[in-house]
Amino acid sequence: MPKLITVVVAFFLFTSFNPPKENFEGIITYKITFVSKPGNEEYTKHQSQKYGKTLTLTQYKNGNFKREYPSSGLIFGVDFNIYMQSLNRLYTKTRNNDTIKASDCSKNTLIQKEETEKPGETIQGVACKSYYISGGDAKSRQPTALQYFYPTDKEFIDWKLYANFNDLFYNKVVFKMQAPFYKLVMELTKYTITFELEKIEAKKLTENLIQFPKGKPVKEL
């Protein structure tokens, strides 16, 4: 009995001094840099319009998020992505199409090849660790490499919210970082695209900001 009381008291003291971390909610702005690889300039001229120069990420406490690309191209550009955590669906709209495309995030077309830690960097004055994961497409075998840089003991993201988000290994990424990324380098066969933090602002958000535009059809992929 005394042992049980000791355990209960110890648990109470631990939880009192170590309250659960609060999930980050706010707006993050990233600068986008696109670099084509030699011999692929014509192809990547179109791809560079896909995201433009800026990504604005609106991150909600419940796991929902919205990515907006205000300077993406009018023909090939992505307008926004919306992730609905309760449905595990990512909704994407391009600028040249009114249809919103929905994809099941439990699916991943990549077969993992490598997963490791790499040397970190200091980003916006914050020391960041680095996590690298790569894979090849199950059909085309085209490689995709993702290198994330993330802070520790700052903004917190609960990995459990994305436990079933398998697309691009995102569940593994969030489990490793448990934070928003400060930099992402995505390397593909013909080009490299980098998202790097410019500004991060914690703020309480109104959930209705993430609602779809009215009258737009939704198509399941």
Q: Where are the domains of the chain?
A: 25-220
Q: Average per-residue pLDDT in the chain?
A: 88
pLDDT value at 151 more than 60: yes
Write down the pTM of the prediction.
Answer: 0.87
* pLDDT score of 175 more than 50: yes
Class of domain 25-220: mainly beta
pLDDT of residue 125: 96
pLDDT digits (tens, 9 = 90+) for 46-90: 778 899 999 999 999 999 999 999 999 988 899 999 999 999 999
Query: Looking at residues 211-218, what average pLDDT do you find?
Result: 74
Can you read off the two tokens belonging to residue 121? 């960097």
Question: How many CA atoms, within 13 angstroms, populate the side-chain half-sphere of residue 159?
Answer: 12
Spatial contact of 28 and 180, defined as CB atoms under 8 Å apart? yes
Average pLDDT over every residue of 98-115:
94
Q: Which of 102, 99, 98, 77 is nearest to 89 (CA)?
A: 102
Instruction: Output the six-digit token pair for 49.
Output: 């319009």
pLDDT in the model for residue 208 = 64
**Res 49: pLDDT:** 87
How far apart are alpha carbons 161 and 175 in whole angstroms?
A: 10
Q: Which of 1-5, 8-12, 46-50, 105-109 has the highest mean pLDDT?
A: 105-109
